[in-house]
Structure 1
């Protein structure tokens, strides 16, 4: 009798373990195109009531131009606004770069037959914490593919996915000043709490009324505390005060279980470490963030656009420009430069700089190149950062095109000690107008970014870098898939050249402005494999079922290429085999 009962128990235990194994190894998201598992109408109706009717349909950018008949007025506006970043951020289905919508629509009126592409079909226009919690719980209960978006400024396609449910945070626009006391007892005057939907242009404008500044991005339409900040966040003032993630005092989040949590140096400490550099859309939904602010600096602006008559003369200028880079950095300069053909545009600035000193330094660089064509040539002062930003940076914010980026962080020691090698690599990887490419240089590292005493998950590559270099490749909507693949391959070649001046195989890049096809992305995006492994361990503890999964984000390597199905796990097979082995031995004991 005992043998018979043991046999039955063994049978059922094996069945249960096998079912658990299948669930772990073959678990796939429930997608909208699968009617067998997608929630029924009554579930959606009840959910919509719980979020105050904020469940909305989603369309790609120019889907307004389809239909029978199409909405001509709305369509005409969409075409007119195609490259307007503000308009795009206000559209629930639009990405800032059209290629990530992956649809058949374009701004070419001859091609307005729209497929849904990778644009989610339903979204929750969340404006409260309760909306976010309800959405997270719905996705968890029904095993839905969930994506999170604020503005669509994303070069890896992480805030969109086909047949998914979109959690749209764009209209969570609260900003408040606080006299903040940290959990460790530090008193911080004029800390700013920024809501999930606030964009940097809005934050800068609001803070300017108090003559304050937060450390943010160069684009006014980039979300302030989403993927930008959670992946590190570089910008105009990072050399002056450090990365955006370095300024975080506290997060208010919703975790994967739908619970609201305070995250700071004392509460949820591992999550606090991970959210400051380890990746947006990976660990929790951030509702708001408390940041340090600073009195606004005055700004000295340096704007030059220079063209050389031939490549030899251009190469000479680039060599001397890079040789001069340490002098510029030591003088407090920061900013950007853009290289195409035999032209370079320079937009540098000095926080709290001296106009006379800055002019003398720039004159020293330019004195041997009076034969070049100076298309633009100005050095000016501005009374505040916001005055500078609104006049020179905010106006240049075009989007809507198709683009891939590839990047590397260039160590300061290499720029200082091997300037000619750096200059040669930049000359080789400069953009060409004939193939719609550009090389973009960012003098945004060094200075306070190099502070290694800050304990967060920002890639260690930032702490040793001086330059962040991006090769950008664009293409037209009518470019064939084959030609797009050729362009992607060419981009990899350019990044390989940049890697020769970035420290070789152990070089790193900035996750927010990286190649989505980057090999060994775990090390490249997160600086070291050790850094990535720690982040992955934290993710497993706060999001054990992988609700927050996005392309090349922490934990995505456990999922299929489309991120909808969990990969088979050898570890799980070993685990269940050991359990069965023990049970068989137990059964034999009772025979």
Structure 2
């Protein structure tokens, strides 16, 4: 048993994970795991047994909306109680949101409310809660600490009514069968990080996968079909970045995962593609997958890999989470844990003036292609201040895996020379680390979550946007215009190499990408729903459309995007979307799985109570 501690200024966070080591050489075969739960239903009353059977068609498939409390077909208390018995008492009824301690009622606790409020923007305070969504805007803003946003009371809004705290595949199978056979809406939650609110749903049954924490290490995993022979990790989908990175480091390896510490990288992250500080070297997170263990829409528990359930395997590597099945484990390639160099610095326009500031940013754009081709990953931001007129640039960090201090300095020096010539003062703080793990822990900021009045749109700018001075000028001018329009921007200078035998559902726009760019729109949190919607729509038709216009045929990243992204199928999957739609119809013909902007989701719509794009409303078919 390996116990990992997260020591921070706000407290100590403890997670226990199981790490097993073996010298065995697992070889993929054509025989996949296949289990149903039908033979475990002995003793269940005949009149409700059908609610828990695998591979049956839903009784209420013709209803316009999913089944909700108060509907004639809503499951009886006895049915819910039976489900709880079948999942070993792991069904939670009306789990409480974090901020419920701030409102009058039996849970009110002023001291706890002060703590919740103080840590509200830290992801470490949210992921252990059964219902919390780290994007309250997509939840419906119905239960936040009053000092952050006073909704007047604490209603459930877009939170699920029941949560199945799954710890075994059979728990998930029972939950999937029950949702399919009753017509109750089903959602899947791991850590709740999703920008678009995929982990929530008003009055839904949620399957919470956070506690699948096992990790197994293989020194030599062989997949003859894809030509891979080497180290690998098999991890439960609840394993988070800070857990797998530490375990991999202890084995002398690294894995491709996100920069955020608490992201559950084996769930929605890896199924959506997943960019990483290692993507310029090894590709996306989905490109690393060797096998899934999955509960499918018909309630079966199967293995999906290069030889078994190959359509499912293709779709789940990039086709998006909460769409084709619920993974319980993922086996991924492991890579060396090599020395890494990182640089963190910032500068502002306060003393040098805006024109000089922007000349420094324009100079940086000239080096995006060579930096990405060198295998680096630059995470940088542009922050406008409309009150002072000052702009701020932050490099957080320039990250150079497997690069020496001298190699990193050589990459950065041409730009630094131009900054010095412009009179821009900065301290590059270039630091060399003995391992990727140490560099990752020291270099990236903690995630900021819980924002109440903003949403983010994104665009992948391909190599073509940087190959001539004219195109670089064009892109730079659009970035500058977004800052003038008060858009906070987050950028990743990165390319996603295409590993051998990587045929999967990953958005093809990742392959030529050089700059993955995000910009955020903000609004008055106390404005009306109509005012908020107008701001969001104008953002899409204005600033985001400008970015689309200069990158025709490119795309967006489905995990860091706006729910209002137009033509999301093309934006998130490009020319792979038609095949994904076909596989959705084949693998989930009854639409058991739904998430906003997921494959096939255009057939459904959340009819939110305020008309805003959130989960606070019934899920109904589009007429």
Alignment TM-score, normalising by the size of structure 1: 0.86
Further displaced range: 409-418 or 467-476: 467-476
Q: Which of 89, 93, 96 is 1:59 aligned to? A: 96
Q: Tell me the distance in 1 between the aligned counterparts of 2:399 and 2:226.
A: 36
State the match for 1:548 in structure 2.
593
Conserved? CA contact 1:195–1:287, under 8 Å: yes
Q: Render the CA deviation track for 1:394-430: whole Å, top value 9, x for unaligned.
A: x422211133111111011221222111211111123
State the match for 1:574 in structure 2.
none
Further displaced range: 205-214 or 52-61: 52-61
2:108 is aligned with 1:108: no
5+ residue gaps, structure 1, are 1-19, 569-591
Give the deviation of 1:92 after TM superposition. Answer: 1.3
Question: 2:520 aligns to what SS in structure 1?
Answer: strand
Q: Tell me the distance in 1 between the aligned counterparts of 2:185 and 2:555.
A: 30
Q: Which of 34, 49, 60 is 2:70 aligned to? A: 34
State the match for 1:344 in structure 2.
393
Q: Which of 205, 215, 223 is 2:256 aligned to? A: 215
Q: Which of 513, 518, 533 is 1:485 aligned to? A: 533
Give the deviation of 1:103 after TM superposition. Answer: 3.3
Conserved? CA contact 2:460–2:557, under 8 Å: yes
Q: Which of 350, 355, 359 is 2:409 aligned to? A: 359
Aligned residues: 537
Give the deviation of 1:304 after TM superposition. Answer: 2.0
Q: Tell me the distance in 2 between the aligned counterparts of 1:145 and 1:339.
A: 40
Conserved? CA contact 1:300–1:352, under 8 Å: yes
Q: Tell me the distance in 2 between the aligned counterparts of 1:220 and 1:459.
A: 24
Q: Tell me the distance in 1 between the aligned counterparts of 2:377 and 2:450.
A: 27
Larger radius of gyration: 1
State the match for 1:368 in structure 2.
418
2:536 is aligned with 1:494: no
2:495 is aligned with 1:445: yes
Give the deviation of 1:44 after TM superposition. Answer: 1.1
- Kindly tell me: are residues 398 and 540 of structure 1, through their superposed partners in 2, closer, same or farther at Cα, counting changes over 3 Å? same
Question: 1:175 aligns to what SS in structure 2?
Answer: strand
2:204 is aligned with 1:154: no
Q: Tell me the distance in 2 between the aligned counterparts of 1:453 and 1:103.
A: 44
Give the deviation of 1:252 after TM superposition. Answer: 0.2
2:562 is aligned with 1:515: yes
2:356 is aligned with 1:318: no
Q: Tell me the distance in 2 between the aligned counterparts of 1:414 and 1:103.
A: 38
Q: Tell me the distance in 2 between the aligned counterparts of 1:326 and 1:540.
A: 40
- Kindly tell me: are residues 328 and 480 of structure 1, through their superposed partners in 2, closer, same or farther at Cα, counting changes over 3 Å? same
Q: Which has the higher strand share?
A: 2
Q: Tell me the distance in 2 between the aligned counterparts of 1:257 and 1:111.
A: 40
2:549 is aligned with 1:533: no
State the match for 2:22 in structure 1.
none
Q: Tell me the distance in 1 between the aligned counterparts of 2:229 and 2:322.
A: 28
State the match for 1:455 in structure 2.
503
Give the deviation of 1:183 after TM superposition. Answer: 6.0
State the match for 1:424 in structure 2.
477
State the match for 2:213 in structure 1.
173
Q: Which has the higher helix share?
A: 1
State the match for 1:288 in structure 2.
329
Give the deviation of 1:192 after TM superposition. Answer: 0.3
Q: Which of 105, 109, 129 is 1:71 aligned to? A: 109
- Kindly tell me: are residues 340 and 508 of structure 1, through their superposed partners in 2, closer, same or farther at Cα, counting changes over 3 Å? same
2:419 is aligned with 1:379: no
Further displaced range: 517-526 or 72-81: 72-81
Conserved? CA contact 1:407–1:470, under 8 Å: yes
Matches within 5 A, 1:263-274: 263-274=304-315
Give the deviation of 1:200 after TM superposition. Answer: 1.1
Q: Render the CA deviation track for 1:481-516: whole Å, top value 9, x for unaligned.
A: 24422431343121112123322xx23111111111
Q: Render the CA deviation track for 1:289-314: whole Å, top value 9, x for unaligned.
A: 00000111211112120223322212
Conserved? CA contact 2:462–2:551, under 8 Å: yes
- Kindly tell me: are residues 50 and 382 of structure 1, through their superposed partners in 2, closer, same or farther at Cα, counting changes over 3 Å? same
Q: Tell me the distance in 2 between the aligned counterparts of 1:55 and 1:209.
A: 36
After superposition, the CA RMSD in angstroms is 2.2
Q: Tell me the distance in 1 between the aligned counterparts of 2:427 and 2:159.
A: 41
2:84 is aligned with 1:48: yes
